[in-house]
Amino acid sequence: KNITVLVSGSGTNLQRILDSIESGEIQNAQVSLVIADRECYGLERAKKHHIKNILIPRGKNFSSQLNEVISENTDLIVLAGFLSILKPEFCENWKGKIINIHPALLPKFGGKGMWGMNVHRAVIEAKEKESGATVHFVTSGIDEGDIILQKSFDVTENDTPETLAEKVHHIEYEIFPKAINQFFGN
Ligand code: GRF
């Protein structure tokens, strides 16, 4: 199975996926393409692993350019810390084959503006008792697609947006490979 991963940032989730494939935790799959919408360390990780990688600077024609480089034999598109919003036509075209990881317990703390530290600040401000991460299908509604896997942890009084970010990352490393296996029926 061929996976295309889209990144905008440090790409630790991409790294986790690559490591899971290497260790056999994710089976019968390979990351055959990594696409970034900006210069980022995620792209470097792809280069280090000799994986085909493409930079498409974000802008008006991003989604159509994306469609041109993603080959028809792609089985799964994984958004791993990808920060551009994909056009509805693109989401429709790849419906059921695009998944995203979100650093909170959707449907709470999702939607426009809810990314990165904004999410963790909002969770602290709302005095939530728990937070977590969610892997879900991507549809044209931001963070609205069906949930594939979710895991929570308790938020304590001492937690800050920074500590939450770290805890959420660890949950992500746990559930992302599982969700990918689940997707492939492994
Ligand atoms: C993750 O927390 C993910 O949920 C969010 O962006 C972060 C990406 O981190 N969408 P990394 O680039 O995988 O380290």
CATH of the domain at 94: 3.40.50.170
52 touches 32 (CB < 8 A): yes
Taking CA atoms only, the protein residue closest to ligand 1 atom 14 is 12
Task: Report, in this order, helix, strand and coil percent for the chain, each rounded to 5.
Answer: 35, 20, 40
Does 11 show up as a binding residue in the annotation? yes
Average pLDDT over residues 26-42: 97
Atom of ligand 1 nearest to the CA of 7: 12
Q: Which residues participate in catalysis according to the annotation?
A: 102
CA of 168 to the centre of ligand 1 (A): 9
CA of 136 to the centre of ligand 1 (A): 14
CA of 13 to the centre of ligand 1 (A): 6
Q: Has residue 124 got a pLDDT over 90?
A: yes
Q: Has residue 117 got a pLDDT over 90?
A: yes
Average pLDDT over residues 94-107: 97
Tell me which residue of 121, 96, 95 sits closest to 109, measured CA to CA.
121
Q: Has residue 177 got a pLDDT over 90?
A: yes
Q: Has residue 71 got a pLDDT over 90?
A: no
Count of the separate structural domains present in the chain: 1
Q: What is the mean pLDDT of the chain?
A: 96
Q: Has residue 164 got a pLDDT over 90?
A: yes
128-140 pLDDT tens trace: 999 999 999 999 9
DSSP label of 81: S
Evaluate if pTM is beyond 0.80.
Answer: yes
Q: Has residue 60 got a pLDDT over 90?
A: no
Q: What is the CA radius of gyration of the chain?
A: 16
Q: Has residue 59 got a pLDDT over 90?
A: no
Q: Measured between alpha carbons, how far is 101 from 141 in angstroms, rounded to an integer?
A: 15
Average pLDDT over residues 179-186: 96
Domain that holds residue 9: 2-183
Mutation to probe ligand 1, out of 172, 173, 180 (largest number of atoms < 8 A from CB): 172
Atom of ligand 1 nearest to the CA of 11: 12
Average pLDDT over residues 63-73: 91
Atom of ligand 1 nearest to the CA of 100: 10
Interacting residues of 66 by C-beta distance below 8 A, sequence separation 6+: 35, 56, 86, 90
- What is the predicted pLDDT for the residue at 72? 87
